[in-house]
């Protein structure tokens, strides 16, 4: 329905506005026709109503970018110019978390990771359950850390895959340290080799407790036949960090050697991996 009263009010307002503009134009013309002592623009403040002369609202001030964004740019430049070796452990962790947490300052999280786990390697290898306890990390940060760990292990394994392991002993130890040294429970692995001592398979035979893993020589030999292996290297970790073999370790090694020897499968060695340390039973004269 139409509103006659509203239409009348709008009409009156329009009429008033037009009348005002006509008056402004008239007075400007009169001023310009006179002595021209006062420039026309100077007359406008006297003629215009206060509402039309109010200063324009200040443009919204853009908030400055968070300080950590500049820090990230500097870190990227440092990485690309000098390589990853130029970065400290906390800087590496920060950069890993950049991609997962783009709107957060990752430096406090990186510092907390180092305080809790001691090193970059310790942080990326830490159990997910323990990583979840750190404030601010979340699933995205967890996934980033575990992705880096997976990439590191994949790279290390590529250095030993399809290569004669006995001629690449240092690379083998680097791979085993990366995969086992920071495990919290004992894990027993078997490296199955072909006739040229190239790695066919690296398989976890068993996982145990913090100080014991059940090992079954018959299962090891059976699996060797399945993958057509002609030689073996046994590997397990000591979560305590001390690679000194126990009596059970020595006896189990002898049992595997005897079972494999019946089928002419050679046991090259049994390596025990601690945290940054390792021991070879063959070098110790225990095989």
- Residues 125-169: pLDDT tens digits? 899 999 999 988 899 999 999 999 999 888 888 877 777 888 888
What does pLDDT average to over the chain? 80
Contacts 24+ apart (CB under 8 A), 111-115: 114/89, 114/90
- Domain span(s) for CATH 3.40.140.10 in the chain: 164-280
Q: Is 56 helix (H, G, I), strand (E, B) or coil?
A: coil
Counting residues of the chain whose pLDDT is more than 90, the rounded percentage is 38
Mean pLDDT is highest, among 167-171, 221-225, 238-242, for 221-225
Taking the C-alpha atoms of residue 76 and residue 69, their distance in angstroms, rounded to an integer, is 11
**190-200 residue pLDDT tens:** 999 999 999 89
Highest mean pLDDT: which of 39-43, 169-173, 243-247? 243-247
Separation in Å, CA 5 to CA 184, 188, 280: 84, 92, 102
pLDDT at 273 over 50: yes
Q: With the CA atoms of 212, 130, 153 and 221 taken in that order, what torsion angle do they form, in degrees rounded to the nearest 10?
A: 20
- Residue 69: the pLDDT is 65
What is residue 40's predicted lDDT score, i.e. its pLDDT? 47
Cα–Cα distance, 32 to 52 (Å, whole number): 22
pLDDT tens-place string over residues 45-104: 554 455 444 454 444 444 444 556 677 888 888 889 988 888 899 899 998 998 888 888
Question: Do residues 93 and 75 make contact, with C-beta atoms less than 8 angstroms apart?
Answer: no
Whether the per-residue pLDDT at 263 is higher than 80: the answer is yes
Cα gap 222→117, rounded to integer Å: 39
Q: How far apart are CA 56 and CA 268, in angstroms?
A: 85
Half-sphere exposure of residue 174: CA atoms within 13 angstroms, side-chain side: 15
d(CA 121, CA 152): 10
pTM exceeds 0.85: no
Helix (H, G, I), strand (E, B) or coil at 233: strand
CATH number of 164-280: 3.40.140.10
What is the rounded distance in angstroms from the CA atom of residue 53 to the CA atom of residue 56?
A: 9
| Least confident residue range of 59-68, 171-180, 262-271 | 59-68
- What's the first-to-final CA gap in the chain, in angstroms? 103
Q: Looking at residue 178, what is its pLDDT?
A: 84
pLDDT of 179 over the 90 cut? no
pLDDT at 170: 87
User: What crossing angle do the helices spanning 89-100 and 107-117 adopt, rounded to 10°?
Assistant: 130
Percent of the chain with pLDDT over 70: 73
pLDDT band at 204 (very low <50, low <70, confident <90, very high): confident
Q: Which of 29-38, 106-115, 214-223 has the highest mean pLDDT?
A: 106-115
Residue with the bigger pLDDT between 1 and 229: it is: 229
pLDDT for the residue 71: 77
More confident call, 38 vs 141: 141
């Amino acid at each position: 329905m139409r509103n006659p009263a509203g239409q009348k009010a709008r009409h009156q307002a329009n009429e008033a506005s037009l009348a005002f503009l006509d008056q402004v134009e008239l007075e400007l013309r009169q001023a310009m026709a006179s002595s021209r002592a006062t420039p026309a623009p100077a007359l406008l403040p006297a003629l215009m109503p206060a509402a039309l002369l109010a200063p324009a609202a200040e443009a919204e001030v853009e908030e400055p970018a968070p300080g950590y964004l500049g820090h990230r740019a500097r870190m990227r430049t440092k990485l690309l110019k000098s390589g990853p070796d130029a970065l400290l452990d906390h800087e590496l962790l920060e950069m890993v978390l950049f991609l997962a947490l783009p709107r957060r300052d990752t430096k406090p999280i990186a510092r907390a990771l180092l305080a809790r786990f001691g090193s970059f390697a310790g942080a990326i290898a830490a159990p997910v359950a323990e990583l979840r306890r750190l404030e601010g990390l979340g699933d995205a940060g967890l996934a980033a850390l575990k992705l880096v760990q997976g990439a590191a292990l994949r790279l290390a394994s590529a250095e030993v895959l399809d290569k004669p392991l006995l001629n690449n002993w240092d690379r083998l130890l680097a791979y085993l340290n990366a995969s086992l040294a920071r495990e919290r429970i004992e894990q027993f692995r078997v490296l199955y080799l072909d006739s040229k001592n190239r790695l066919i398979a690296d398989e976890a035979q068993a996982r145990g407790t913090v100080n014991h893993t059940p090992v079954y020589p018959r299962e090891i030999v059976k699996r060797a036949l399945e993958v057509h292996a002609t030689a073996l290297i046994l590997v397990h970790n000591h979560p305590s960090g001390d690679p000194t073999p126990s009596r059970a370790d020595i006896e189990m090694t002898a049992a595997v050697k005897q079972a494999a020897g019946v089928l002419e499968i050679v046991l090259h060695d049994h390596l025990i991996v601690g945290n940054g340390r390792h021991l070879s039973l063959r070098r110790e004269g225990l095989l």
